[in-house]
Amino acid sequence: MRDSNVNPAPLDASEERRRQILRAAVACFARRGFHQTTMHDISAEAEISVGLIYRYFENKDAVISMIAMEHLAGMRAMLEEAKRAPSLFEALKIVFTCHCEEQPAHVQASFVTDLYAEAARNEHVRALVRDVTEFFIGSLTELIASSEEAKSGAASLPARLAAELIVDSAHGMMMRAIVDSATLTSAQIQERQLAILRSLWPLLFTRATSGARVAQVQP
């Protein structure tokens, strides 16, 4: 995600080619999975020669590593935007509905799902996924801990536990979006994500008092 008020610097030809290869790889991995995808598949998707791809990436693991780094960079940008939000609810709204990558949402979701499956059998990928997930949870923990809700004692759960529940919910909704992408628009999927956030909010960030009902958030 990029700040709409900032014009990004133009990419040189080498960087643009690298991004072209990465976009093609994400599409192939989402469609065929890591094991079934070959460098020839990626070259066909990118419409460039296999030899040219090897000038940028030594092997398929190197492609996966770079995609993970790109995903982490996008996550950092998204979290920086969330930190600037006027309230914790607005910050979490960004977290729940933001898509960092340039690929269509269902393609990215399919790729991330396969990434987790690959982590079960590939130690290199498992380390990448673990690092990205820990960064996400840790950053969200800091965001929650510095919020007015935490400072006022209104939060009903420790910041770390709340962050873990939010991240796991976000991952689950992303996977659910894969099967719904054929019948729901992106706007409809995002609205469902916001409805879930509204339902989670009083459980995570409103400390109930004796005999009182927890108020629902009205953003």
Return all residues near 25 (Cβ < 8 A) that are at least 6 apart.
37, 42, 45, 63, 64, 67
- Concatenated DSSP letters of 14-58: HHHHHHHHHHHHHHHHHHH-TTT--HHHHHHHHTS-HHHHHHH-S
- Whether 147 maps to a domain, the answer reads yes
- Whether 93 maps to a domain, the answer reads yes
**Widest CA span in the chain:** 70
Number of domains in the chain: 1
Which letter does DSSP use for residue 84 in this model?
T
- Whether 121 maps to a domain, the answer reads yes
- Whether 211 maps to a domain, the answer reads no
Would you state the torsion angle of the CA atoms of residues 217, 90, 184, 179, taken in this order, to the nearest 10 degrees? Answer: -100
pLDDT in tens, 150-186: 888 777 789 999 999 999 988 888 778 777 777 877 7
110, pLDDT greater than 80: no
For residue 24, what pLDDT is reported?
93
Q: Name the pLDDT band for 10 (thresholds 50, 70, 90).
A: low
Distance CA 26, CA 13 (A): 20
- Whether 194 maps to a domain, the answer reads yes
Q: Which of 7-11, 60-64, 85-89, 174-178 has the lowest mean pLDDT?
A: 7-11
Q: What is the mean pLDDT of residues 138-143?
A: 94
Nearest CA among 91, 106, 84, 85 for reference residue 185: 106
- Whether 27 maps to a domain, the answer reads no
- Whether 67 maps to a domain, the answer reads yes
Contact (Cβ atoms closer than 8 angstroms) between residue 112 and residue 174 = yes
Return all residues near 185 (Cβ < 8 A) that are at least 6 apart.
none
Which letter does DSSP use for residue 33 in this model?
-
Domain that holds residue 122: 59-205
- Whether 15 maps to a domain, the answer reads no
The enclosing domain of 133 has a CATH number of 1.10.357.10
The share of the chain scoring above pLDDT 70, in percent, equals: 84
130, pLDDT greater than 80: yes
Tell me the whole-structure pTM to 2 decimals: 0.75
